[in-house]
Amino acid sequence: MAGKKRLSAPSERLSRSGARLSEVGASESESGPRLPGADAELVCASGDLADGGDGIRFEVERDGKIVPAFAIRHGGRVYAYLNRCAHIAMELDWKPGKFLDAEGEYLICSTHGALYAPESGACRGGPCRGAALSRLDALEAGGKVYIRKG
């Protein structure tokens, strides 16, 4: 898991770029949109995700385990998934943060080439055979990207 760091507390982690991931308290800005509540976790700044560019790797807690995940921007929207191929439980990226194929059309698994739709995680070709990535509930507010805790 090159490029990722994790602190001991699940609610206090570091992203690939070293930005702190922290729990988000319910808040409302006087000048901006309402921010997500305490059930959301900060992933990165919106500007960290270029459309069709590299993804951001991070970790989430699921069923008591810390597991790898990622967020990407595609077609202007942010999507997040567990970083686990539906064929075999391998991480997808062929280099840290490289999740898209050469055309930027599909998410691609670096191990055997399974293709997934960026907007749904559904298998679109290769050995994933009708399975899908595990999607996380991603949202943007106030220039930041969050996921809802599972």
Contact set with ligand FES (CB under 6 A): 85, 87-88, 90, 109, 111-114, 126-127
Cα distances from 66 to residues 7, 62, 112, 125, 146, in angstroms, run 11, 6, 25, 29, 17
Order of strands across the sheet that contains 144-148 = 40-45, 144-148, 138-141
Closest contact distance (angstroms) between CB of 114 and ligand FES is 4
Q: For ligand FES, which is the closer residue by CB, 79 or 99?
A: 99
Burial of 113 (0-12, 13-18, 19+ CB in 10 A): middle
C-beta of 87 vs 149, nearer to ligand FES:
87
**Smallest distance, Å, CB 109 to ligand FES?**
3
Quote the least distance from Cβ 131 to ligand FES, whole Å.
Answer: 10
Alpha helices per DSSP H over 36-128 = none
Give the residue with the Cβ less far from ligand FES, 36 or 118.
118
Kind of pairing between the strands at 138-141 and 135-136: unpaired
CB of 47 to ligand FES, least distance (A): 30
Residue number with CB closer to ligand FES (17 or 120): 120
